[in-house]
Structure 1
Amino acid sequence: MKTLGIIGGVGPLATMYYGDMLVRLTDAEKDQDHINMIILNDTNIPDRTAYIVDPTKTNPVPVLQQDAQQLEAMGAEVITIPCNTAHTFFKEIQSAVNVPVIHMINETVQRAAAEGAIRVGILATTGTIQAGVFQQSCMEAGLIPLLPDEEIQQDVMSVIYDQVKAGRPTDRKQWEKITKAMETLECERIILGCTELSIVKKELQLDYRFLDALRVLAETAIVQCGGKIRN
């Protein structure tokens, strides 16, 4: 099987959850049935949203490229980045290496389409929203992307930065407010387009409407590396 390289640290908790998810989702009866992984938990990668919102901030691209190259040099044959916002710079990262980088956002949108959704809500960082990567991917797939208003977007950012990244539990009432707002948009699927929100799905046991981009990435990586997904 192929060796998977992971550019982690964006954020650290989501990276560890992703690694755990890869193991638990693999159909394996012994150690040798699992895929090989190299996890580079680089917490020095500059904040992606901060740079997208304000280009005078430190550019994360050179560090992301360097990490991808380091993983390739260590033997990675497929690379994943468990950070949706980082996919704003997907072309730059892919161009830095000779091995495939899985496009987390495109894979997730394609999964929503495969599940029959047309109206798709997007919950993500402000950087991801402003970059338009999910919106573009949805429109290319024939789906309708639906975004929260400014007030709800601030709530989403609070959950991501003030709660999950800060190691605090999710404010259930605040999340219910977000959910109700997306329900008014008549979303058939709501993409959790930030890896910190994958932690929220686990913590609050969110229902099938919430499509976890991190899980889609994990399943795609297992298959592309030659493993099998547990039913």
Structure 2
Amino acid sequence: MKTIGLIGGMSFESSAIYYRLVNEAVRESLGGLSSAQVIMHSVNFAEIVGYQTTGRWDLAEKALADCAAGLERAGADCILICTNTMHLIADHVAASISVPLIHIVDETSAAIKASGYRRPLLLATRYTMEHGFYTNHMRALGLDPMVPDAEDRQTVHDVIFKELCAGRVEAASRDAYLAIIEKAKAKGADCVILGCTEICLLLDPDQLCLPGFDSTRIHAQAAVTFALSGRREKMVA
């Protein structure tokens, strides 16, 4: 089994989900008491948010590149950035290591295309929805993503940072998200991406008016597929 390197803490709420999903998937695949070989570097999210809000992406690049390089030195065979937003600097992080960076947009796009959809609604932080790195990447992969209007983008963003990242799950916010998805469906969206790794705390992707793709679950499963690649037998303790 290969070792998975996780850059977490953005926020720790979703990093805990990554850890659980990765280990559940390994146990499901190998059986018995099997669990994943994982190394995590969990950052102080307040520092990363400070870089985001001040536009100091150069400092974020250095911080996460240092994390990735440290995980590789510690024995990680692949690296995951456990957040959608920080994939804005994924190319820089990938360039700082010699092991693969498993890219959340690549994996989510592949899952959508494999299911026969093309016009996903992206729900994410304002940075992810507005900076273009995510939607442009998806367009290059043959998809036609859409984002909510400006007011709804702010609503989605505020719920993430003020509630979900702080461990709060509010029914009113769930209703607001569902209304945004309904509007997108009326405008031609054929599926929805839970494009922030905390949104799975609020929404069940299987209980929406459109087919849902949880980027957290997709990303974690891709890591497990990589970690178990080349191993076909099922081991039962």
TM-score, normalising length from structure 1? Answer: 0.89
- 1:131 deviates by 2.2
**Residue aligning to 1:124:** 124
Deviations 1:99-143 (A, max 9, x none): 111011111012111110011111111111222122112211222
Aligned pairs, number:
227
2:120 and 2:61 mapped to 1: Cα distance?
A: 29
The answer to whether the 8 Å contact 2:174/2:203 transfers is: no
**Residue aligning to 2:176:** 174
The DSSP-based 3-state class of the residue aligned with 2:47 is coil
**Residue aligning to 2:70:** 70
The answer to whether the 8 Å contact 2:77/2:99 transfers is: yes
Match 2:215 to one of 198, 207, 213: 213
- 1:35 deviates by 2.6
- 1:159 deviates by 1.6
2:61 and 2:121 mapped to 1: Cα distance?
A: 27
Deviations 1:24-48 (A, max 9, x none): 22323223x4330011111257335
**Residue aligning to 2:32:** 30
Matches for 1:104-143 after TM superposition, within 5 Å: 104-143=104-143
1:66 and 1:172 mapped to 2: Cα distance?
A: 36
For structure 1, the residue ranges without an aligned partner over 5 or more in a row are: none
The DSSP-based 3-state class of the residue aligned with 1:97 is coil
The answer to whether the 8 Å contact 2:121/2:191 transfers is: yes
- 1:53 deviates by 6.0
The answer to whether the 8 Å contact 2:57/2:89 transfers is: no
The answer to whether the 8 Å contact 1:88/1:133 transfers is: yes
Cα 1:55–1:198, aligned 2, differ >3 Å: closer, same or farther? same
The DSSP-based 3-state class of the residue aligned with 2:40 is strand
Corresponding letter in the other structure for 1:222: V
The answer to whether the 8 Å contact 1:52/1:131 transfers is: no
State the identity %: 26
* CA root-mean-square deviation: 2.4
Deviations 1:65-124 (A, max 9, x none): 111111111111111111011111011101111111101111101211111001111111
- 1:177 deviates by 2.2
The answer to whether the 8 Å contact 2:181/2:192 transfers is: no
1:83 aligns with 2:83: yes
1:127 and 1:47 mapped to 2: Cα distance?
A: 13
Match 2:203 to one of 190, 201, 204: 201
